[in-house]
Chain A
Amino acid sequence: MSTPKTLFQKIFDRHVVLERDSGDALLYIDRHLIHDLHHRAFATLKANGQTIRRPELLFGTPDHSVPTTAQTLVDIPQGEMRETVSGLEAAAKEMGFNHFDLTDDRHGIVHVVGPEQGITLPGLVLVCGDSHTSTHGALGCIAFGIGATEIQHVLATQTLWQRRPKNMRINIDGALGPSVTAKDLALLTIAEISAAGGAGFAIEYTGSTIRALSVEGRMTLCNMTIEAGARSGIIAPDEKTIAYVKDRPFSPKGDRWSEACAYWKTLFSDTDASFDHEVLIDATTLEPRVTWGNSPQYSGSIGDTLPNPANEPNLIKRSEMEAALTYMGLQAGMAISDIKVDKVFIGSCTNSRIEDLRAAAAIAKGRQAVVPTLVVPGSGLVKKQAETEGLDQIFKASGMEWREPGCSMCVAINGDTLAPEERSASTSNRNFRGRQGKGSRTHLVSPAMAAGAAIMGHFTDIRSFN
């Protein structure tokens, strides 16, 4: 009898090139994604006399520095934004790796593009110089964000040194109520285990709620795993996963497909596998959520009032809550539905896929936005699909702006930002101080909740919309 293993351990073990006595393993990397902010990596590689070991396993696309008004490189204002985007493009041409440029419909946010193209597949180890690489774990692979030095290492050797993380299982059971989404589930999970709770762990999500989620919903949940401190979240592949990856441009075909499927069917945690930590969450009482602090762990249900820090026994939390209320310009005890917003952002690697846009459009349809609202599709293909379905017309008729794909107001270094003290309802992943521009105030919500806030001018319970 072999030792029972978790899903994470099964994939990890298969990729171990060698292991030191210390337990540090050299892992083989199957897929490496890269975006514009890392364009300097290639000059450094050359300066060190190294080359890309497996350019065919490297995929690049610009996203962070792309203005959502730009359709081509020359639409980007001259300066560091354009240099960053053109730097990646030039490196791809020179060094021969896959690259989707601005004129290619396949370009977009790297974490939307990977799954959409079939670059992300179950059973792989995938890395990218971006913390939201955890997104890809939704397809049943090990996926995590790395730093610039680690990028150099992967480029040069196609491997990476990793300590074995501890394993955490978060089991979520129960049917989600109407208008309750994977985003609300992510915010609840982070509130339950805290923003630091996942540090040192790889998280596996299991349970009936997870099985019932669409693959895109699973991506939203895994995306925000990093906000709970864990670098990777993973969901065992099932029929939905396999149907999702089938016939994508880079997914295996013919005999290769059959070989891959045979392996994928072995990808689940063994019944007796041991987890270092287990968390149980009941999803049946979950309601649409809104964050109010400067860490994603601070959120409440739409019907709640803001907590009073004085009632918080944990002193660290108390001081953090007090500082957050001050920074956010909010008072303890006020109703979340009384918080007025100045801008709405629907997009980001968390919530810019077609299902997200459909959910937002369902709320926007036939109604008028009363605050400026940006809708930013996650990729050129998501944009096309939305336009085929007429979603763009719904957004425009509501007075919302329909933009080109990119990270937009999630990273706020591409022209889309909030002014100091401006408040947003945002479908992105981080409500950190200054995340959407210096002095910005961010509330994280689902796409439908963001659209609801755009229509009402304040947070609102979208379940009351017919």
Chain B
Amino acid sequence: MQPFSSVTAIGVPIDIPNCDTDQIIPARFLRRAKDDPKYATFLLHDLRFNSDGSETDFIYNRTPYRDSHIVVADINWGCGSSRETAVNALVANQIRAVVAPSFGDIHYNNCIRNGVLPVRLPTTSCDQLRKQLHAAPGARMTIDLETQSVTGPDQTLYPFTIDVFDRMRLLEGLDDISITQQHAKTIESFESIYRDQNAWVFDP
């Protein structure tokens, strides 16, 4: 997993409240392999492409937003389906961070486990950031996980909080299995006691 420390990049504002993971990647792409050369086109596909395959004027299709690595979204980004392919589609487009007032819980976890930083900021801060990114296409912003801060296009500093364990995973690019395997003995002893006390779970 690619570690995350700090990213300075163009931000793209996506003004869709409750942007569910069906919007982020439509279900008909769920069976595609992660290394499908077309994967990047699956991101927000039905907002970005007409039925004949031509591009719509959706903001992420426009220059310079197309080169952004940061999404600034609205409430409940990534709600709905648990599909991790939604994060795969972000990664395929080199999106490194999503800033939003709130996230779907499962999508949030999926982001953390793929090196994409989900940043929760107050609704007013997200509104302000999106407004600035609309006003100045191509404006750059910085997200620093070390200092836990977002720097807006106008240099306004927005501090954010994140679970310390999630922060460590991202900073070090650690995957959960390697963390957990350090506790193999603890799991074994838990399992053996739990099994003795709850035989009905294992041997109904």
Contacts and interface: CB of A to CB of B under 8 A. Distances in A.
Contacts of A230: 105
A256 B203 CA distance: 8
A432 B22 CA distance: 7
A150 B187 CA distance: 17
A256 B204 contact: yes
A413 interface: yes
A438 B109 contact: no
Closest 8 CB pairs of A and B: A196-B76, A147-B84, A147-B110, A148-B84, A252-B200, A252-B204, A256-B200, A145-B82
B183 A26 contact: yes
Contact of A156 (B15, B23, B28, B177): B177
Interface of A: 15, 17-18, 20-24, 26, 28, 30, 37, 40, 48, 50, 56-57, 64-65, 80-81, 83-84, 118, 121, 124, 129-131, 144-150, 152-153, 156-159, 161, 163, 165, 195-196, 199-200, 226-227, 229-231, 250-253, 256-257, 259-260, 263, 295, 297, 316-317, 319-320, 411-413, 420, 430, 432-435, 438
A319 B200 contact: no
Interface residues of B, number: 58
Given A157-B177, A250-B204, A22 B165 contact: yes
Interface in B105-130: 105-106, 109-110, 113-114, 123
B186 interface: yes
B200 A161 contact: no
A149 B84 contact: yes
11 contacts: A15-B194, A80-B31, A118-B204, A150-B113, A158-B187, A253-B204, A257-B200, A259-B200, A260-B200, A263-B200, A317-B17
Contacts of A231: 105-106
Contacts of B198: 259, 263
Given A131-B81, A256-B203, 5 more contacts: A129-B82, A231-B105, A231-B106, A257-B200, A434-B46
A316 B114 contact: no
Interface in B9-44: 15, 17-18, 20, 22-23, 26-28, 30-33
Nearest to A157: B180
Contacts of A20: 165
A256 to B, nearest CB: 4
B57 interface: no
A157 B199 CA distance: 19
Contacts of B84: 147-149
B201 to A, nearest CB: 5
Main secondary structure of the interface of A (DSSP, over half): loop
A50 B28 contact: no
Given A159-B180, A195-B76, A413-B30, A435 B106 contact: no
A195 B104 CA distance: 10
Contact of A161 (B31, B165, B181): B165
B163 interface: yes
A63 B33 CA distance: 19
Given A18-B186, A146-B82, A316-B17, A413 B28 contact: yes
Contacts of A21: 164
Nearest to B46: A434
Contacts of B165: 20, 22, 24, 161, 163
Interface string B72-83: 001110011111
A430 B22 contact: yes
Contact of B104 (A80, A229, A433): A229
Contacts of A420: 51
B22 A434 contact: yes
Interface in B158-204: 163-165, 175-177, 179-181, 183, 186-187, 190-191, 194, 198-204
B68 interface: no
A145 B80 CA distance: 10
B104 A199 contact: yes
A139 B144 CA distance: 44
Nearest to A45: B177
Nearest to B22: A432
Given A147-B84, A195-B18, A251 B204 contact: yes
Contacts of B46: 433-434, 438
Given A80-B31, A316-B74, A432-B23, A152 B191 contact: no
A146 B203 CA distance: 25
Interface string B136-170: 00000000000000000000000000011100000
Given A18-B183, A149-B114, A196-B18, A131 B26 contact: no
A40 to B, nearest CB: 8
B173 to A, nearest CB: 13
